Amino acid sequence: MGIDAEIDTSQGGDIIQTLKDEIFCSICCAIFEDPLKLDCCDGHLCKVCFDDVKTKFPSCPLCRASNYSAKPSRLMVSVLSTITLNCPAEECNEKFLYSQFLKHKETCVFLNMKTCDRCNVKMDLTEFERHFACIEVLLKNIEEIQKKNECQKKSFKELHAKHVKILQENKVNASSVKSLNISLNRSNEMIRQLQLANDDKAAQLHQLQYHNHTGGAQNSFLAAENEKLQKNLKDMSIQMTKLKNEHHVTTYSMKEENRMLRNTVNENVATHKRGQEFLAAENDKFKNSVKDLNARISKLQRDHHSASFNTKEENRILQNKANETAAQLKKTKDTLQNQSNRIKKMEAEAKKSNEQKKNTTAAKKKADESLKKLQTEMKELRSNYDHLSDLFCQGDDTDNCKSCKSGAILSLLPQTQIDQEKIFNEKIKNLENLLANATRTVEQQREQHKQAKKELEERITQSYACKIAGLEAALKNKVNPLADSLEKVSSENSTLQYEILELQKQLESCEKEQEYLKEVEKSQYKQLCDEQQEKEKLLAEANMKVADMKKQIDDKNDQIAELLEDQSSKKDQLNPLSSDNSSEITKLKNEIARVEQSANLYFQMYEKERKINQCRSEEKPGLFGLFKRK
């Protein structure tokens, strides 16, 4: 990627505008960074852009040539080194050369700033990371806790579904137990009816015996037959008692098994309820802990927002103060510049006076030279005058001659030269006085400027020291509550982590208890399966016995039918008492038919129970079928 910055066109603007199209990369539309020259079309690209294009496209992006390559371009680097770039940050208005801009990009405070999406505050990247480090950790912890809570909810739902299935199976088992109880009650009623029928038969037999004894010799044959029938009935009663005892044993065992099943079902329901209550309590605790965590996080966010708002306000106040101090510094700089301008003006005036002095000294030198010339001329004139006076006076009075000589000399000197000398001397004196005054004023102003400079420096240092002390105090006042809040947050994080560890331990203990319960239920299920197999074996044996009894009853019925046929053949040979005996015999036949019907019904009930047990064994297992499925 290229450099996203503006070019400074203040120096050499026309040349830069002409080179502007060649300086920018055609892919990233920015100034070249590490420019490379293409061999196919002599175009230029950034190094990063070239690598991206090379990996994605087989042809050149500028000329569409295949098998293209690139090399570093020294010419483009030399062209870019002459360009000055403006910093893209609005707060930073500095200008740098191309070679120095990359260093500035790494060290510029304003370019390495990032705004917070929540509080809209600009800060460094390190401060930004610290700004959200604590909240991110808390949010991660909350997400982990929420995930664990969801897993617990799923496990709770699965356990609830299992509990519902177990309850449904318990209902089915209860209905089957009820049907078994109903069938047992019916069988008991049938047995009672059979007992009553047997009692009636015994009474009828006693009556027949009495009639046989009273009938005499004619009824001896019937007495023998009745004895045979009594023996058969006794055998039938013995077999019925055996069947009754076996039925009582089976019913008692079934009742005991049903009681055991009910107890196990009740125990399982109680354990399931306990586990459900424990899980509900743990879930409530977990929800309360999550609510506390959310409340703490909301409090921390509020404190963070309030602290950020306070820091914004304090930063704004500090910025205003800094702007005021900057304005004051500008004013002081302006005053110093004015004083420096005045000093420069005074120095310029002093230079002018020095130049005038030099000019006057040069004029004085010229005047001295002219005076020397005049003096030489005066000497020559005096010598000439002396020679003339010697010629004219001939040595009468020396004093008169001297006065005449001086007067003559003075008369010979031109008056203009004397006036010029006086004027020059006066000007020189005036210039010397002006120079002295100017030097004095310059020295005084310099001393005043030095004193003002010292006073301003002292004031600036004092004001800066006071402001720095105030800022340090304000920062300490800000940092101390922030440090306290961070310590509180760290302590709360430690407490939260401790609570999370405790919750994890509780969850592990719950899982261990669940595994233990599963193992116990599996063992109970195995025991129940074994018991059911034993019951099925017992039922099969009972069914075999019932079948044998049915065969015996059929045989006995055949024998009774034969006896009845014999009796019917002998009825014609009997006395008038045979009519009464025939009615009794019909009654006995009817009773025997009833006994057969009851036996058939009893056999049908046993077959139904056997079919029900087979269906149960073929269908889902009993109470703990879910564990078998797993």
Task: Give the model's pLDDT for residue 113.
Answer: 75
Domain housing 44:
6-111
Residues 492-512 pLDDT 10s: 666 766 766 776 677 677 677
For 72-81, 210-219, 592-601, which range has the lowest pLDDT when averaged over its residues?
210-219
> In the listed set 111, 137, 160, which residue is the last one of a domain according to the structure?
111
Residues 464-490 pLDDT 10s: 667 667 766 766 666 566 666 666 666
Question: Quick check: pTM over 0.75?
Answer: no
The answer on 77 and 174 residing in a single domain is no
> The tokens of 560 are what?
């009774």
- 141 lies in a domain? no
Question: Over 70: is that where the pLDDT of 454 sits?
Answer: yes
Q: Find, among 195, 229, 243, 238, the residue nearest to 559 by Cα.
A: 229
The percent of residues above 90 in pLDDT, for the chain, comes to 0
Q: Is the pLDDT higher at 95 or at 242?
A: 95
The answer on 523 and 615 residing in a single domain is yes
Q: Is the pLDDT higher at 70 or at 451?
A: 70
Task: Give the model's pLDDT for residue 508.
Answer: 74
Residues 106-164 pLDDT 10s: 788 777 777 766 666 677 766 766 666 656 666 777 788 778 778 877 877 887 787 77
- Cα torsion 533, 535, 540, 546 to 10°: value is 180
The answer on 177 and 98 residing in a single domain is no
Most confident of 142-151, 187-196, 361-370: 142-151
**Number of domain units in the chain:** 2
The answer on 102 and 13 residing in a single domain is yes
Q: Find, among 312, 351, 295, the residue nearest to 492 by Cα.
A: 295
> In the listed set 94, 111, 128, which residue is the last one of a domain according to the structure?
111
Q: Which positions ≥6 away from 5 have C-beta within 8 Å? A: 31, 85, 86, 87, 88, 101
Task: Give the model's pLDDT for residue 304.
Answer: 65
Most confident of 45-49, 528-532, 561-565: 45-49
- Given its phi and psi angles, is residue 245 left (phi above 0), alpha (psi -120 to 50 degrees) or beta? alpha
Taking the C-alpha atoms of residue 338 and residue 335, their distance in angstroms, rounded to an integer, is: 5
Nearest 5°: phi and psi at 41?
-130, 10
Q: Which positions ≥6 away from 316 have C-beta within 8 Å? A: none
Question: Over 50: is that where the pLDDT of 625 sits?
Answer: no
Task: Give the model's pLDDT for residue 579.
Answer: 55
- 203 lies in a domain? yes
The answer on 528 and 620 residing in a single domain is yes
Mean pLDDT along residues 409-424: 58
Question: Over 70: is that where the pLDDT of 387 sits?
Answer: no
Question: Over 60: is that where the pLDDT of 573 sits?
Answer: no
Q: Is the pLDDT higher at 380 or at 14?
A: 380
Mean pLDDT along residues 195-211: 69
The percent of residues above 70 in pLDDT, for the chain, comes to 49
The answer on 98 and 197 residing in a single domain is no
Residues 83-118 pLDDT 10s: 888 888 777 878 888 888 888 887 887 777 777 666
- 324 lies in a domain? no
- 525 lies in a domain? yes
> The tokens of 511 are what?
């899982």
Q: Is the pLDDT higher at 221 or at 154?
A: 154
Q: Which positions ≥6 away from 612 have C-beta within 8 Å? A: 176, 179, 180
- 213 lies in a domain? yes
Mean pLDDT along residues 171-188: 71
The answer on 177 and 80 residing in a single domain is no
Nearest 5°: phi and psi at 95?
-120, 140
- 46 lies in a domain? yes
Q: Find, among 537, 550, 553, 549, the residue nearest to 610 by Cα.
A: 537
- Cα torsion 480, 485, 490, 492 to 10°: value is 150
pLDDT band at 528 (very low <50, low <70, confident <90, very high): low
Mean pLDDT along residues 578-590: 59
Question: Over 80: is that where the pLDDT of 371 sits?
Answer: no
Q: Residue 561 CA to chain centroid, in angstroms?
A: 93
- 313 lies in a domain? no
The answer on 105 and 172 residing in a single domain is no
Q: Residue 52 is part of a domain; what is its CATH number?
A: 3.30.40.10
Q: Find, among 76, 101, 99, the residue nearest to 86 by Cα.
A: 101
Chain position carrying tokens 């025939």: 582
Q: Which DSSP category does 124 fall into?
A: E
- Cα torsion 440, 443, 444, 447 to 10°: value is -160
Task: Give the model's pLDDT for residue 629.
Answer: 37
Taking the C-alpha atoms of residue 54 and residue 66, their distance in angstroms, rounded to an integer, is: 11
Nearest 5°: phi and psi at 51?
-65, -40
For the chain, give the mean pLDDT.
70
- 162 lies in a domain? no
Most confident of 27-31, 251-255, 606-610: 27-31
Contact call for residues 185 and 192 (beta carbons, < 8 A): no
